[in-house]
Structure 1
Amino acid sequence: MYQIDPATNRIHRVAQMKFADLGFTERGHLQEWLANQPDALGEELLIVQKEFAGFEDTRERLDLLALDKDGALVVIENKLDDSGRDVVWQSLKYASYCSTLSKTAIADIFQQYLDKSGIDARAEEKICEFLGQEDFAEVMLNHGNDQRLILVAAQFRKEVTSTVLWLLKHDVRLQCFKATPFKQGNFLFLQLEQVIPLAEAEELMIGISEKEKEEHKAERGQAKRFPLRTEFWHRALEALEQAGIDLYSNVSPGKDHWLNSGSGLSGVHYTMVFSKDEVRVEFVLSRSAKEQNKTLFDTLYQRCAALEQRFGEPLEWRRLDEKKASIILARKLFDGYNKDNWADMIKWLVERVQRMEETFEPEIALLRGKLNGGE
């Protein structure tokens, strides 16, 4: 790693260190860093437990247990300056133990983690939010042999890398990340680099066939609520068309509990939500950079009174500091899965979608200017 000095147009080497020399430990430091910043491993992961020891007839414990966006369990094993010889065998054992965990057991394990961490939240709701699902009954976790392994260490021995490469050829989903600390003056840095498989080749080496992917998707599509949602969205889109509202004219009904429509500004969109408890209309700020979303939200919030007056009723302003996106919404409670209520629900959506567009469409130029550095 090098530091760039623009003044001299030169680069200067940043000193590579060892974790032990810096006084860092596996559990007290590396594990905590990853538990609190799992996307440092290159993807969104939901940590559901650390130091997990819930295996029968053994006192072994794995470092971190997580879920990925497909609902697969991810076993994360951390080593410091040396991976050791047995890390692959150790992680394979943990994966085999975890392969028997049911969806209910995973939720219980996660709830214990939340409670111990002092986080006031329900595990099932957090899992649904992470996976983009509305109802925990529809969630599929730990499907089949989808368990994954992630190994983190400063150095990997040849016997480890050789075994890992062999396992990859036999469809075991395994990644190795090289963790390297650096020091520059009083500043410390951590570099996490995926070394096996190479990131650009990972899709070719993971070994999940298209057939398996289609089967997995089909199983999830069998949930009874999916046809219900599709039918609701058919009716809602027809009502919007009859009302002369073309915001969703190029959108097709689907099985999800939401439908998005663009605003003309990348990463900013309108959303309709249909759930078993309510319907919502949202103006969503979801650009790739979190700080941009917060800036745009704050820009709009400064004028919340005028915008609510234009909308015709109060709005909920959710900055969501802990998340990337920010949302402005209106909602109404309904028994959503009772079709007798659908006419009133769709009427409410049609009216609010039109108001939402009329309220925020004039603000797009302001938001675009804010992104481009304007006032």
Structure 2
Amino acid sequence: MTSTLGKLQRVDPRSIWKHEAHDFTPWLVDNIDILGEALGMELEVVDREADVGDFSVDILARDLGRDRLVVIENQLEVTDHSHLGQLITYAAGLEASVVIWVSRDFREEHRQALDWLNRGDGVTTEYFGIVIELLQIDDSKPAVNFRLVASPNNWSRQSKRGPGIDEVSGKRSSYQEFFQSLIDELREKHRFTNAKAGQPQNWYSFSSGTRGFTYGMSFAQSGELRAEVYIDLGDRATNEHVFDKLESQKEALEKEFGEPLRWERLDTRRACRVACYTTGSIEDPAEMQEQHRKWAVERLLRFKKVFGPRLPELAKAVHPAS
């Protein structure tokens, strides 16, 4: 029987990506969801080669589920002191909450340095070390594997149970439990998200796969649940332009969606959104929370089915070179 098994082997990343900045970084920008899946985050690219004083960070992203800025630095060689210093400089200059160092191999002293940074008193920035591996079985195509080697002390527990679940009480705990159940179903049954950790907040955002558009679910202050497509491509005029193009298809979109939608330009804010609502509160009894979760899952899946195929063309029309 063993003769039918293939041989697993590692492939040199340089055989696929000859140049770190010109080859690997663009690939990671286009496949940021693979990195997000390895970390249990919903990552969306904000910028590439973003300026930090006289330097530039490889990738600037956002952790959508927590609305946190993420710095990503790549290295197709063994880790070195220079990149460690750059990471700390970028985190400070951009006030990033998450720092991800991707490398082909980590020196033990650099892994220990990330662990030390994560243990700092009053630390608010999370540091992750990720080894990128290319794995191949016999003559198959190489496959990417991101292997976590350094993370905040409680990250493994957070990814399974939700962050600080033992430390959160009252309404915030109820939000966390609700969203943990929601994202678990969306991830495990529908492959809708990479997220693993519910948060003690009244909202959660999910990647649409198209930069500038997110799907979201929240408990609104008006005693309603809201599911939405959120539009924020960087400036008010662009958002309104895209919103108007979508609204011009209102009749067809609502027919395909299966119910009326609210078209909200949000004139006092930069972003716009298209949403649907139902009555509900986090303080409703458990049996109603179950109905709230089912409602949210169904609407988010509908938004992805109906709006998802239209978003790339809208983004391309606004930013042809992106």
TM-score range, shorter chain: 0.3 to 0.5
TM-score when normalising by structure 2: 0.46
More strand by share: 2
Q: Which has the higher contact order (CA 8 A, sep 6+)?
A: 2
CA radius of gyration, larger in: 1
